[in-house]
Structure 1
C-alpha cells in the first residue's frame, strides 16, 4: 500500500515538473535569429579577417571566427634569423653595438702592444666614453618618446551610445591588431642604429574615428536591418560590400524557398565602442562592438502567422566591421558574433 502511494506521489511530482519546464523550453526555442546575418559570423576584415578583434567593454570576450568569408589566409612573414654572439642578443640594439665597438677597440690595443684599454687613453677615457654613451642613449630615448606622443593616433569619444575610450592601438599587423607609431619607428632603442633608416610601410596603419563616423555606424545598423526585413536587395547592395550582399541575397532566397519572411523592427543601439580602426591602401576599416535591442520574428508568408520569435524585444551583441573605400561612404564588410 505504501509503495503504491509513493509511486503516485512520484508521478505527480514528475508531471508538475514537466508542466513547468514546457513553457521554458518553448520560450527558448522561439528565438528567431531573424536579424541580418542570422546570428552567424561572415564577411571579410581585410588583412585582419583571420585574427580576432580586440576585446572591448561592450564585447569583453573574443569574437567568433568567420564561418563564411571570401578572404584567403596569408602566411605570416618569416622572422629574420637571429644572429648569435654576445652583443647580438634581442634587445641589445644600439647599446650593444657601442659595447661591441668598445671591446673591439680594447682588443686592438692589446694586439698592438697596449693594455686592454690602452687604445682609449686609459681608465679615465673609458669612463668618459661610457658617460657619453649614456647621455646619447638618454637623448635618443626622450626624442623617440616625444616623436611617438606627437604622432600617436587620436580616438574621438563617440556620440550617443558609443564609447571609444576603450579602444587602444594594438600590436603590429603580425599580431592582428592596429599597428602603432612605435612599430613604424622600428621599436625604439632596441632596434639598433638600423631603426633610424628607411622602414618598410606597415600593412595597416591606425586611423582616427570621428563622431560623424560613429553616427554613420549607428545609422547603418538600423538601415541594413530595415533593408533586410523589407527584402530590399537594392538597398543592401548600396549599404554593404559585394561579398556581404551575396550572403544576404542567398539567405533571402533560402527564407523565400521555405515560405517565410524575417521581420526585424524597433532596432535601437544600447551600447557600442570601437575595437580597432586601420587603413589598408586606399581603404579604411573600423570594427565596432554593438549591443542593440530589436523585435525579431519569422512570419509565414501565406498566413502571416508568427513561426518563430515574437513581439517581445530581445538584445544581441555583435561586432560589425565597416569599410570606406577611397574616402567614400562606409559600408558593412563583416558581422561577427560575440562569444
Structure 2
C-alpha cells in the first residue's frame, strides 16, 4: 500500500513538474524555409530594440529580434533563433538554469527522494507545492534580472513620433510617403527608393534560392549574410535545398525612415506571395512546402550608406 501510494505520488509530481516546465522551455518547431527562415534577424541601427510603428500592411507589432549583433550580451550569429528568452535549439542561460532545477528534481523523485532529495525528505503534497513554487520564483527572478540587464539605455519608444506612409495603395506595391525618425534628421523616401525595395525583395529571394552567397553579399549587410550562410549550411546538413519562386509584392508601406550619421535607414512593411519548396538535394523530391503560393507579411529594414545603394539590414516577423 505504501509503495503504491508513493508511486502514485511520484507520477503526479512528474506530471505537475512537466506541466510547469512546458511553458518555460520552448520546443523547437520547424521554421519557414524562405530567406530568413521565418525568424526576426538583423539590426536597425540605434532602433534595433524599438518596434517599428504599425502600418496598414502590418498592423500588428513586429517581433523582437531573435538574431542580432546589436543585442547586449548576444553571442552574435551563434544565437539560436526561436523567439523570446528561451532560444532554440541550444537554449539560453535561463533555459539551462530551469532545466537543471527540473532535471535534479525529477532524478530525486525517481531515486526515492522528494523533488529535491536534500531538502529533508519533503514528500507530502504541501512539500511538493513549496518546492515547485521555489523553482517558479527563482526562474522568474532570473528572467527579471536578465531583462533589466538586456534593456539598452538608448532604446526609444516604439512610436517615436514616426509616421507611416501618408498614402496607401493595395495591390500595386508600396504606398508612397515619408517617415521621420524620432530625434533624427528627416529622410524623404522617394518613388525610386520604393522601386529599389521591391526589386531587392525579389533579388534576395532569388539569390537565396540559388544559394548564391556572393550575390547576397551585394544585396545585404554582412550580418544578414552571416545568418543566410548559417541557414544554408543547415540545409546542406539535411541534404535539402530551398527553392523560392514567383515572389510578388502584393502590398507595402513605409513604417519609418531616419538618418544616422552618413547612413539612411528605412523600415517597410511588405505583404508578398511566393512559392516556397524544400527539395531533397539529390532526388529533387518535395520534402517541405507546396507548389501553391503562400502569403507572407514581414517588415524589412534597408540601410544605405552615403553614395551607395540600399541593402537589406533586417527582417522582422509580424
Asked if TM exceeds 0.5, the reply is yes
Matched, 1:162 2:161: no
Alignment partner, residue 286 of structure 2: 306
1:206 alignment partner, SS class: coil
* 1:76 Cα offset (Å): 3.3
Counterpart pick for 2:237 among 235, 257, 271: 257
Higher mean alpha-carbon deviation, 156-165 vs 225-234, is at 156-165
Alignment partner, residue 76 of structure 1: 154
- Are the counterparts in 2 of residues 153 and 207 from structure 1 also a CA contact under 8 Å? no
2:39 alignment partner, SS class: coil
Matched, 1:333 2:313: yes
- Are the counterparts in 2 of residues 287 and 321 from structure 1 also a CA contact under 8 Å? yes
Alignment partner, residue 37 of structure 1: 36
- Are the counterparts in 1 of residues 165 and 254 from structure 2 also a CA contact under 8 Å? no
Q: Give the TM-score, by structure 2 length.
A: 0.60
- Are the counterparts in 2 of residues 317 and 337 from structure 1 also a CA contact under 8 Å? yes
CA deviation profile, 1:233-265 (whole Å, cap 9, x unmatched): 000011000000111011101100110000100
Q: Give the TM-score, by structure 1 length.
A: 0.56
Counterpart pick for 2:276 among 296, 299, 303: 296
- Are the counterparts in 2 of residues 35 and 225 from structure 1 also a CA contact under 8 Å? yes
CA deviation profile, 1:111-151 (whole Å, cap 9, x unmatched): xxxxxxxxxxxxxxxxxxxxxxxxxxxxxxxxxxxxxxxxx
RMSD (Å) for aligned C-alpha atoms: 2.3
Give distance in 1, aligned partners of 2:164 and 2:301: 19
The 1:72–1:308 alpha-carbon spacing in structure 2 relative to 1, beyond 3 Å, is closer
- Are the counterparts in 2 of residues 32 and 297 from structure 1 also a CA contact under 8 Å? no
Counterpart pick for 1:218 among 198, 206, 219: 198
Q: Which consecutive segments of 4 or more residues in structure 1 shift more than 6 A?
A: 152-156
CA deviation profile, 1:47-78 (whole Å, cap 9, x unmatched): 0000000000000010000000001454239x
* 1:168 Cα offset (Å): 5.2
1:64 alignment partner, SS class: coil
Rg (Cα) greater in structure:
1
2:297 alignment partner, SS class: strand
Give distance in 2, aligned partners of 1:76 and 1:154: 22
Alignment partner, residue 239 of structure 1: 219
Matching of residues 278-289 of structure 1 within 5 Å: 278-289=258-269
- Are the counterparts in 1 of residues 53 and 255 from structure 2 also a CA contact under 8 Å? yes
Give distance in 1, aligned partners of 2:290 and 2:248: 17
- Are the counterparts in 1 of residues 164 and 179 from structure 2 also a CA contact under 8 Å? no
* 1:158 Cα offset (Å): 8.0
The 1:158–1:206 alpha-carbon spacing in structure 2 relative to 1, beyond 3 Å, is farther
1:205 alignment partner, SS class: coil
Alignment partner, residue 275 of structure 1: 255
Give distance in 2, aligned partners of 1:153 and 1:208: 12
Give distance in 2, aligned partners of 1:214 and 1:225: 17
Aligned length: 202
2:270 alignment partner, SS class: strand
Matched, 1:62 2:71: no
Give distance in 2, aligned partners of 1:68 and 1:48: 15
2:196 alignment partner, SS class: helix
Q: Which runs of 5+ in 2 are unaligned?
A: 1-29, 73-151, 156-161
- Return the structure number with greater helix share: 1
2:189 alignment partner, SS class: coil
Higher mean alpha-carbon deviation, 325-334 vs 66-75, is at 66-75
* 1:37 Cα offset (Å): 0.3
* 1:302 Cα offset (Å): 1.2
